[in-house]
Structure 1
């Protein structure tokens, strides 16, 4: 026996029931569309009664706009990025956009594969959080009129807008703080060597050390990974000539380092070793860590990212902007008070 066909409710059906024009229905369901409060109420009531849902894909074919933003992210085990993804998604949804989240690693081949998939969705714009893209894909996006904003990353490509914290200044402030707390043998545990955040934070940190005539005592690489940071800490602090302070490139790794110092090496923080991180994720304030950290201005970063992206969507000729936002050093109990005598 044949199945009964299901009749799809159209915008014309809604218009007839609400007693308005079909264009009025379209305006009600178009983000940013103009309609009176009375019209909106009548159309919404009629749509609910009929079970009408607007065909977003059909509208995209007509307008050339999908109202979809592709958001690419890595390092979701780092507490900074789940917060960033949530707030970015909410901020874009408030502007009438849908967000598709794609996971990627920092390998060029994987990022390129993900980007190809994103472009197949006919997105209006792309936000890359914690990953970079090749110049070939940057050129393709530019030629297709798809704006790209790098979030918490930069790269030397004039076609890409970016929003970052002042990572150089953050690294410099941490160096000054550790020195002011009496540290003399200062180490550094790096993140992923190819990331602009890692490069800039280390550059600022070394600059701060040089200002005081101090040479970096030791260096390890945590690669932004918890397990790798633990291994780097074990190697750095197991010997007699261990650092008396360490800057860890982000909080996610800093937690691993503190765990190693306390539970594996029986060292006191900050009595034996002062520890500072970067990001100031919520867990940094927990009593278990009480981590001194350079706070990224996440809300301002989100606002700048959304504003930059939407401006470029609205005006394809607008030049890409690069925002570098000031952060704040949050002093807690994992480092010694400034002015401490060594």
Structure 2
């Protein structure tokens, strides 16, 4: 065993190829024959060689690293979506660094400042927002930013979301068709575009059906806050809603538990409950939750497409706002109107 580090030149000599051929084999997207690839990888394995990614980045000016920022992972939607996003970027030859941040802009700004120090090629912000001055700094640094499941008006950033307006309207139409007359809403974090659009679509749907919102509370996309909101909303038996739309499934599960196990009410016999996201537990028999599906595969596909366009063609790529169709998934947590069927 030797203390000297194996170099690409050592691999080239052992494989009987040029040093540039070794470089091509280990450079994503570079061209090399299968015969050369096999010879180089065999020699590299025998010598224990690993390419120096950081050194290559210094030479090429590209780190092949994407910074991925997420606010929280408690909601089942994000681990699944971020796994898909990481896999999709890795398939394109990029490495992914994951950073955690809170939803407040000040915290996110400091995290993004740190990410820029890593010389990343691009940044994906999952369900968080960034200030306009930091967006401008990223632009000046030549680092494109794409927002996932969130958008910012007027910032000139590409963003991919589900069609939250349409999703909210569908829930209103479904509950009205079920004959509900006292319909409540438990909101998410009110600084989020997803929350605003879901509620706006919901209210528009109720208005189109000749109704207004019966009661409202804020769950802030947090389980404990959602539980408190549910207790307050259902505290007075004479003023209880007969249906409630909750801004995401993560909160909806907590609300259902309060309704059934603390208050002794039946779902959907006494109260219909509808969520948003369609995370895996929504299909469990314990919840059987009617909800709006966020199509993570399509959202990830569009996010990667937008990010790579900004990286590969920075002078011509334009900011894109993509809203993916979000279908209502009908299960058993809400009264099913006549003519509607379970999904």
TM-score scaled by length of structure 2: 0.97
The runs of 4+ residues in structure 1 deviating greater than 4 Å are none
The answer to whether the aligner puts 1:116 opposite 2:113 as a matched pair is yes
Match of 2:249 among 244, 248, 251: 251
Q: What does residue range 46-61 of structure 1 map to in structure 2 within 5 Å?
A: 46-61=43-58
- Residue equivalent to 2:205: 208
Question: Match for residue 260 of structure 1?
Answer: 258
**Coordinate RMSD, CA, aligned:** 1.1
What is the aligned partner in structure 1 of residue 287 from structure 2?
289
Q: Which residue of structure 2 lines up, in the alignment, with residue 219 of structure 1?
A: 216
- Note if 1:39 corresponds to 2:31: no
Aligned to 2:326: 327
Question: What's the TM-score, normalizing by structure 1?
Answer: 0.97
Give the Cα–Cα distance (whole angstroms) in 2 for the partners of residues 324 and 252 of structure 1: 21
Match in the other structure for 1:90:
87
Deviation digits for residues 299-339 of structure 1 (CA, Å, limit 9, x no counterpart): 00011101110111001111111111101100010011113
How far did 1:60 drift?
A: 0.2
What is the CA–CA distance in structure 1 between the aligned matches of 2:288 and 2:199, rounded to whole Å?
23
In the alignment, is the contact (CA less than 8 A) between 1:158 and 1:320 conserved in 2? no
Kept in 2, the 8 Å contact 1:292–1:329? The answer is yes
Q: Is the 8 A contact 2:132 2:155 kept in 1?
A: no
Is contact 1:174–1:205 with CA below 8 Å preserved after alignment? yes
Aligned match of 2:297 in 294, 299, 318? 299
Segments of structure 2 that go 5 or more residues without pairing to the other structure are: none
CA distance in 2 between counterparts of 1:335 and 1:254 reads 12
Shift of 1:24: 0.5
Cα pair 1:182 1:339 within 8 Å, conserved? no
> Matched residue of 1:188: which SS?
strand
SS in 1 for 2:213: coil
**Equivalent residues, number:** 337
Q: 44-53 or 155-164, which moves further after superposition?
A: 155-164
CA distance in 2, matches of 1:181, 1:159: 41
